[in-house]
Amino acid sequence: MIPAIARDRPIPMSRTVRKARGTAFILLAILATSLGMVALAALLLDVLRDGIGVLSLEFINSFPHYQAEKAGAKSALAGTLWVMSLTAVFAMVAGVGAAIYLEEFAVRNWFTRIVEININNLAGVPSVVYGLLGLAIFVYWMGLGRSVLAGALTLALLILPIIVVAAREGLRSVPPTIREAAMALGSTRWQAVRFQVLPAAMPTILTGFILALARAVGETAPLIAIGAFTTVLFVPTTPTDSFTVLPVQIYSWISKPLPEFRENAAAGIIVLLVVLMLMNAVAITLRNIYSRRSRW
Amino acid sequence: MVTENFLNLPQTTTAEAAVEPARDATPESVIDVRELQAYYGENRALKDISLSLYSRRVSAIIGPSGCGKSTLVRCLNRMHEMSSGGHVKGEVLYQGENIYGAGVDPVELRSRIGMVFQKPNPFPKSIFENVAFGLKVNGISGNTSERVERSLRRAALWDEVKDRLKQSALQLSGGQQQRLCIARALAVEPEVILMDEPCSALDPMATLAVEELIRELSQEVTIIIVTHNMQQAARVSHHTAFLMMDQDKAGYLVEYGPTSEVFTNPKSEHTEAYITGRFS
Ligand SMILES: Nc1ncnc2c1ncn2[C@@H]1O[C@H](COP(=O)(O)OP(=O)(O)OP(=O)(O)O)[C@@H](O)[C@H]1O
Ligand SMILES: [Mg+2]
């Protein structure tokens, strides 16, 4: 006989119903994933179909031209590489530096709390606003002009909040016992951070860094706002040279009335994607090196 | 063999009794705690602690949970101030000098007074790097691998890890990790080692290995060990301090003396109640 208490309980769902629900959820998840995959694949196929015919070493090695078949992405590719390298350095140094200060050294008070709130808010500011800020500060006030340096600083500013947030997350995930262990051996706070905490946090930091760079490499609006040129007939050789970048070049080709330029734009997108993937590959390799060494 | 000994060991046997005759009868004190008060923000965790800890002896700190044993050892190498709101009043003299006095560098102090934590906390790096870290940060250069080997030998871990020094320390067992943490502390050659419940995460065999190690180390260094295990305190220590909490939750020193006396002839009824297990 079933005891009274057991009878008062709600009747449990039958096993088949629970299994069916589980299966339904998995199907839904697969559907959601494939939606994204299909959209991405369609986009890639479309771009590849349009651009693959134009894509060649010559395309990468030619400057912009008024005839579509002679035009190339050399200056834009060089500009992107220049700007991204500098952006990566500025954003990483400033972002990780700020995160280390806030997490490891700053005393919690109203000032650090205001800084924190503002950093989180900055992540939501539209990118064109950063362009205007860059125009006012770097181009005019600091007198850098429409240079690679001004562009890189503007983009670094744009991705700084993402890196700060990711880096703080990474630092916070390192157990405090690691800091105590290091300090108890007679290391300074900085030595503990430099040799133990930072390497352990590096995988998380680099993940944030990858996402941030992926965002920066595709940005057009802030660079147009600071006045990146659309037709550059030379390769920048110093950070003070003027420049263009791939997204700006692609944008300018798309807005041309001649249909042949569409194919150039598609080829430019492929080049941009390759640059993005190479950057990610480097960051992921670094991340794997770090996480192989430090896993809890 | 060893396990049998562990089980049959009479509770009253103390290390004091086993101390070799050559040792001087009146040990000199290295750490003098004088009217120490420790706080977490507004809350006082330790009240009026005064005691002297002796050179090249093992001192045990026992007492119920939350009475401030960890806080006390953390005050001895100025780790207490790393906790949020942690500050102290009173003095701790180390070799006659107040470690809370102006001009004392806590970083330098901590390389002379080492610490082993309750939970093994190796760095997520190789075994070798774990031991070498203290050398690196203290600027001790030259024959690093020799020093690493010596420390691992002293911590009775060398034979188990000598073929895999490059492997991650996190792949070691809990007991091995704790011995690695001891080796790591030994590498910088501290004069005092603070151990906060070093065996609480270990099985009886590993515990015995660590106790053996403590006995050997006490020939050269001063050891202060927090423990919840009465038998352990009786087995390894020469002196025992018993702490308790008063009504306002501040820990105070109930009794301190040679382990044999504290365990066989306690002055305070609280001590007696605690060591006989009538009180937790
Ligand atoms: N970081 C901290 N912040 C605030 N209070 C703390 C902190 N650490 C410990 N305390 C308090 O200080 C008192 C003493 O704690 P402590 O850790 O020294 O006890 P203990 O004797 O080591 O206990 P156990 O045997 O459980 O390890 C406790 O009341 C505890 O709540
Ligand atoms: Mg404790």
Q: CATH number, domain at A200?
A: 1.10.3720.10
Whole-structure pTM value: 0.81
Partner-chain residue, chosen from A183, A185, A296, that has the shortest CB–CB distance to B188: A185
Name the residue of B71, B79, B117, B200 to mutate for ligand 1: max ligand atoms within 8 A of Cβ: B71
Residue A296 within a domain: no
Amino acid in position B259: T
Q: In terms of residue numbers, what domain contains B266? A: 27-118+192-275
Residues A223 and A164 grouped into a single domain = yes
Cβ atoms B3, B204 nearer than 8 A = yes
Per-residue pLDDT of chain B (280 residues; tens, 9 = 90+): 333 333 344 444 444 444 444 455 567 889 999 999 999 999 999 999 999 999 999 999 999 999 999 999 999 999 999 888 899 999 999 999 999 999 899 999 999 999 999 889 999 999 999 999 999 999 888 888 899 999 999 888 899 999 999 999 999 988 889 999 999 999 999 999 999 999 887 788 888 888 998 998 999 899 999 999 999 999 999 999 999 998 888 999 999 999 999 999 889 989 988 988 876 5
Nearest to A103 by CA among A114, A91, A112: A112
**CA A286 from centre of chain:** 16
Ligand nearest to the CA of B280: 1
Distance CA B40, CA B32 (A): 22
Residues A42 and A186 grouped into a single domain = no
Helix (H, G, I), strand (E, B) or coil at A136: helix
Residues A134 and A18 grouped into a single domain = no
Determine which residue's CA is closest to atom 24 belonging to ligand 1.
B65
- Ligand 1 centroid vs A56 CA: distance in angstroms? 69
- Ligand 2 centroid vs B68 CA: distance in angstroms? 7
pLDDT in tens, A200-213: 999 889 889 988 99
Give the closest-approach CA distance of A286 to chain B in angstroms: 16
Residue B186 within a domain: no
Q: In terms of residue numbers, what domain contains A45? A: 14-51
For residue A286 the two structure tokens come to 């670094």
- Ligand 2 centroid vs A140 CA: distance in angstroms? 60
| Number of domains chain B is built from | 1
Residues A41 and A138 grouped into a single domain = no
Question: CA–CA distance from B241 to each of B19, B91, B92, B261 (Å)?
Answer: 19, 18, 16, 11
Cβ atoms B1, B220 nearer than 8 A = no
Average pLDDT over residues A146-166: 91
| Number of domains chain A is built from | 2
Residues A121 and A263 grouped into a single domain = yes
CATH number of the domain at B262, please: 3.40.50.300
Interchain CB contact of B181 with A (< 8 Å) = yes
Partner-chain residue, chosen from A184, A191, A294, that has the shortest CB–CB distance to B79: A184
Give the closest-approach CA distance of A15 to chain B in angstroms: 40
Q: In what order do the strands lie in the sheet with B251-258?
A: B97-98, B86-94, B29-40, B43-54, B251-258, B239-245, B58-62, B222-226, B192-196, B113-116
pLDDT, residue B222, reads 95
Residues A95 and A41 grouped into a single domain = no
**Contact: A178, B121; criterion CB under 8 Å:** yes
Cβ atoms B33, B80 nearer than 8 A = no
Residues near ligand 1 (Cβ within 6 A): B 40, 45, 65-71, 83, 249
Residues A46 and A63 grouped into a single domain = no
Distance CA A74, CA A234 (A): 8
Cβ atoms B254, B64 nearer than 8 A = no
Residues A79 and A226 grouped into a single domain = yes
pLDDT, residue A14, reads 82
Give the closest-approach CA distance of A295 to chain B in angstroms: 6
pLDDT in tens, A95-139: 999 999 999 998 888 988 898 888 888 888 898 999 999 899 898
Average pLDDT over residues A58-77: 78
**Contact: B133, A187; criterion CB under 8 Å:** yes
* Final residue in a domain of this structure, among A5, A24, A51: A51
Helix (H, G, I), strand (E, B) or coil at A232: coil
Residues A75 and A140 grouped into a single domain = yes
**Contact: B138, A186; criterion CB under 8 Å:** yes
Residues A69 and A109 grouped into a single domain = yes
**Contact: B107, A185; criterion CB under 8 Å:** no
Residues 68-107 of B with CB under 8 A from A: 77, 79, 82, 107
Residue B224 within a domain: yes
Residue A287 within a domain: yes
pLDDT in tens, A168-223: 999 999 999 999 999 999 999 999 999 999 999 998 898 899 889 988 988 888 88
Enumerate the H helices of chain B as residue ranges: 2-8, 15-18, 69-76, 106-112, 127-137, 144-154, 158-161, 174-187, 204-217, 230-236, 259-264, 269-275
Residues A35 and A68 grouped into a single domain = no
Helix (H, G, I), strand (E, B) or coil at A144: coil
Statement: residue A11 has pLDDT above 80 = no
For residue A214 the two structure tokens come to 């992926």
Ligand nearest to the CA of B61: 1
pLDDT, residue B25, reads 59
- Ligand 2 centroid vs B152 CA: distance in angstroms? 26
Residue A5 within a domain: no
For residue A57 the two structure tokens come to 């070493």
Residue whose tokens read 């390799």: A285
Distance CA B29, CA A264 (A): 83
Q: What residues form DSSP beta bridges with B223?
A: B58, B193
Name the residue of B43, B79, B249 to mutate for ligand 1: max ligand atoms within 8 A of Cβ: B43
Residue B43 within a domain: yes
Cβ atoms B59, B262 nearer than 8 A = no
Q: Which residues contact A272 (CB under 8 A, 6 or more apart)?
A: A80, A217, A218, A246, A247, A250
Residue A234 within a domain: yes
Give burial (CB, 10 Å; 0-12/13-18/19+) of A4. exposed
Statement: residue A67 has pLDDT above 80 = no
Residues A46 and A177 grouped into a single domain = no
Q: Which atom of ligand 1 lies closest to the CA of B118?
A: 27
